[in-house]
Chains A and B, each alone.
Chain A
Amino acid sequence: MSRIAAEHDIHASYAAGKVKRKRNRFLSRWETPGLGYLFISPWLVGFLLLTLYPMLLSLYYSFTDYTLMKPIKWVGLRNYERIFTADDKFLQSVKVTFLYVLGSVPLKLIFALFIAVVLNKAVKGISAYRVAIYFPSLIGGSIAVSMLWRNIFGVDGFINSVLDKFGIEGSGWISNPKTALWSLILLSVWQFGSAMVIFLAGLKQIPKDLYEASSVDGANRFVQFFRITLPMLSPTLYFNLIMGIIGAFQMFTSAYVITNGGPMNSTLVYAVYLYERAFNRYQLGYASSLAWIMLVMIAIVAAAIALTSKYWVFYETDTGRGKRK
């Protein structure tokens, strides 16, 4: 009814020459919104049911003493209060997590960039090399690789037997609190694959003439890398940095499988501690509070990086303009 009326109105106003074309286009686009929603419904249903709903539910749980068994009781801010005032393990896990993020993200990005630069050569059969190098890193986050890691870095593992050949007595890398976290950081470096692919795509976008022009001016490869490649790649770097940090904050599999948070809580990353509260002690309310604190922490770190980005991220479109201001 109303649509016909609206259409009629438009026609009428057309006839009267009152409405400009622009406004008309806007209206017609909104006339049949149902179809648009239908197209995005697979995503929308997934988002509402699997993301928004659990998210809101966990926010609610974080203010309760939910334990699966007893009726849920609202406790207000008590979970948060306990986390911040009386939970040493929380502090330890935050410390470990930040150490892990600080260690793993830069190393992984540097390594991914290095490999991407190496693979960005016009060599015959380069695609085969790319696949061969990218492929193993896809499984870096799997349980199987974690088990492998445990054996490589174990007391009688591969590393120590190699060291032994040179007369060096290695320690149990993953069973020593001083080195355990570093073993996990090394494993994260192995998962460089997806960052590398994005870097590679970024490298391909850099116009060749920049390099040609600079080499005419006498710039060597080293200068080219820091003066052309890095600045031109900074949007890609920015993206990889943010994604890497978010991923690192949520690290779980390897810390859980390889060391299970030990020895002496030296690899008790945040997600492992959260898991312990939720599924060993069934304190799901408490664990939900922990999850929201992690969310806020990640948001703050990501926001801080986003704020600094204007000083080091350059977009080709706004060079010049950005400088003048």
Chain B
Amino acid sequence: MKVWKRLSGISASLVLALSLAACGSGGGNSASPSSDSASGSGGAAGGEKVKLRIMWWGSQQRHQATLNALDFYTKQNPNVTFEPEYSGMEGYLDKLSTQAAANNAPDIFQIDPSWVADWASRGQLADLSEGVDLSNVDEKLVNGGKVDGKQVAIPLGSAAYGMIYDKAAMEKLGLQPPKNGWTWDDFFKLAKESKSKLAEGQYFTKDYAGDYFAFSAFHYAEGKGLLVTEDGKFNIDRDTFLKWTKQFEELRNLGVVPPADVNASDKEMDPTGDLMVKGKILIRLSFSNNFVSWDSLKPGAYDLVTMPRSKEAGGWLKPSLFFGVSAHSAHQEEAKKFLDWFTNSPDAVKILGTTRGNPVNNKVAAEVASSFSAADKVGMEMYNATAVDGQQWTAGASGWTNWVDKDWALIRDELSFKKTTPEQAYEELKSMAQEYEN
């Protein structure tokens, strides 16, 4: 009896702990879905005080630029103030998901293009078809934020996917830096050539064998298209996957990619965790707009190059980020007005630079381009080089986020720790994909 009494107490505390975990974050903010001010929100222009919660991830540059933009907006619209929440990428999606699960998402939040479909299908994004002027924005970008004909997310920038390399280190080692338009053959050749020149504890590049994005670029370049078709079918070409993973197996055995534990410790753009910033690797994948952040960590050391190609181009342009408005927000009208300003005002574009990619409003971008920094211009150069024949980016099928984030991560570690063979890895990815196919 006594035992069971105690156990029931135990179980109660357990479930309490579990349920509390669910509402852990976002405490204190109760800008919840209550519709009290919804009736007046249409006429909020009249000066009703509104506080918008806004959340994004990014680097220090992006934080600062965004905060400046928010301040500027508040000065012009004194009735609107902001409660910004910003962080690095790590944990961002978890935090946002948890808030959204509790119907407590911020009014405006930044999302990755690949999440748009998922979030829209869960009914968490407000309809923004009216109220944000997107007439000067490239149609491809606009379409990236559309689901079932409704505009549910506003594109914030456009970026090209390529590589960033440590120019200074390569020159010092006597390696010929890559040039725009180089091929995957060049890439692997350069990697093997570096073998005799690298210092101890230094490597050519990351172990990208199980990297979803790097492999996507290779898959594209080989002319095999998307890893998952738009209608949600597993589409990895077996031979291409084996070719890729075996090339990296060779690099691993040569020692020009880091051992597994070092590889797994990499934290992109983290001043103390990024393998390239620490001088351990020479080259890694990068979006054109991230150049600014890397450049700020080691000014003048880096340069960008297009993604290697083979039969086709390897890189692509994509909408870098979107802003969505919570379907539960009580201030949707004010949020839309802010997003309209964020997209179309020359002031905003000037303040933000390319911290979220090339500005989406082409007209305004052309007007203010001269005011951009040198680092911004390096990014724009790679962007333009990719734009020539880059791959067509699509948002992809919905519901596969976990496959990309968790299942690929497992394969990545298994490959680099040599716990699996390329053949097994392929079968594993394929069988894990079954759970997501629709």
Contacts and interface: CB of A to CB of B under 8 A. Distances in A.
Interface stretch (B3-11, B227-235, B289-297, B315-323): B3-11
A149 to B, nearest CB: 13
Nearest to B264: A175
A154 B16 CA distance: 34
B172 interface: no
Contacts of B401: 280
Given A298-B11, A299-B7, A263 B19 contact: no
Contacts of A276: 402, 406
The A interface, classified by DSSP as helix, strand, loop or mixed, is: helix
29 contacts: A50-B20, A51-B19, A55-B11, A55-B16, A174-B265, A175-B260, A175-B261, A176-B260, A176-B261, A176-B264, A177-B413, A246-B13, A252-B21, A262-B410, A262-B413, A263-B264, A264-B414, A264-B417, A265-B410, A274-B18, A276-B406, A278-B101, A279-B22, A281-B402, A294-B14, A295-B14, A302-B6, A306-B6, A306-B7
A291 interface: yes
Interface string B164-176: 0000000000000
A177 B273 CA distance: 19
A213 B98 CA distance: 60
B10 A298 contact: yes
Interface core residue of B7, B93, B261 (most chain A CB under 10 Å): B261
Given A264-B413, A302-B7, A54 B262 contact: no
Contacts of B22: 278-279
B74 interface: no
Contacts of B388: none
Interface core residue of B22, B264, B272, B419 (most chain A CB under 10 Å): B264
B405 to A, nearest CB: 7
Range, interface on chain B: 35 or more
Given A175-B261, A175-B265, A263-B417, A295 B94 contact: no
A37 interface: no
Contacts of A299: 7, 10-11
Contacts of B12: 47, 51-52, 55
Interface string A247-285: 000101000000000111100000100111011111010
A55 B417 contact: no
Q: Which 5 A-B pairs have the closest CB atoms?
A: A172-B261, A175-B264, A54-B19, A55-B15, A264-B413
A278 B93 CA distance: 13
Interface in B97-115: 97-98, 101
A291 B18 contact: yes
Contacts of B409: 262
A275 B91 CA distance: 13
Interface string B396-438: 0000011001100110011001010000000000000000000
Interface core residue of A176, A250, A264, A299 (most chain B CB under 10 Å): A264
Interface string A151-166: 1001110000000000
A276 B3 CA distance: 33
A168 interface: no
A275 B25 CA distance: 14
Contact of B265 (A154, A246, A280): A154
A246 B10 contact: yes
Given A176-B261, A263-B264, A156 B278 contact: yes
B410 A264 contact: yes
A219 interface: no
Contacts of B97: 279-280, 282
A271 B409 CA distance: 19
B429 to A, nearest CB: 14
A23 to B, nearest CB: 25
A263 B413 contact: yes
A299 B10 CA distance: 8
A67 B122 CA distance: 9
A1 interface: no
B16 A54 contact: yes
Contacts of B11: 55, 295, 298-299
Contacts of B410: 262, 264-265
Contacts of A51: 12-13, 15-16, 19
B15 A58 contact: yes
Interface in B355-413: 401-402, 405-406, 409-410, 413
A274 B21 CA distance: 11
Contacts of A281: 402
Contacts of A274: 18
